[in-house]
Amino acid sequence: MSRNPLNRENYSNENLEVDEFENLDAVNDDQYSKHKPSKADTLRARRQVEAWLEERRLQRAIEDDWDV
């Protein structure tokens, strides 16, 4: 017998205890900390994005020249 995923009777909360939901934490909650990238990493990423944008701009300019 297949279950209908849209049938609410299949997922009743009657069998679940409230305490079960209180203890549900993400596995890595204790190790989580915001990682702030170094200035060098930020600058490197910014330069990479600028290089990609410049490359795209140049390619579009070349394609536009060929279309004329």
- Mean per-residue pLDDT of the chain: 76
Is 50 a member of any domain?
A: yes
Q: What is the pLDDT of residue 37?
A: 85
CA distances from 35 to 13, 30, 31, 32, 41 (A): 38, 14, 11, 9, 12
Domain that holds residue 44: 39-68
Q: Say which residue, 42 or 27, is predicted with more confidence.
A: 42
When divided into structural domains, the chain yields a total of 1
47 band by pLDDT with thresholds 50, 70 and 90:
very high
Is 66 a member of any domain?
A: yes
Is 63 a member of any domain?
A: yes
Note the pTM of the prediction, 2 decimals.
0.45
Is 29 a member of any domain?
A: no
Is 5 a member of any domain?
A: no
CB 10 within 8 A of CB 3: yes
pLDDT in tens, 6-19: 665 655 555 555 55
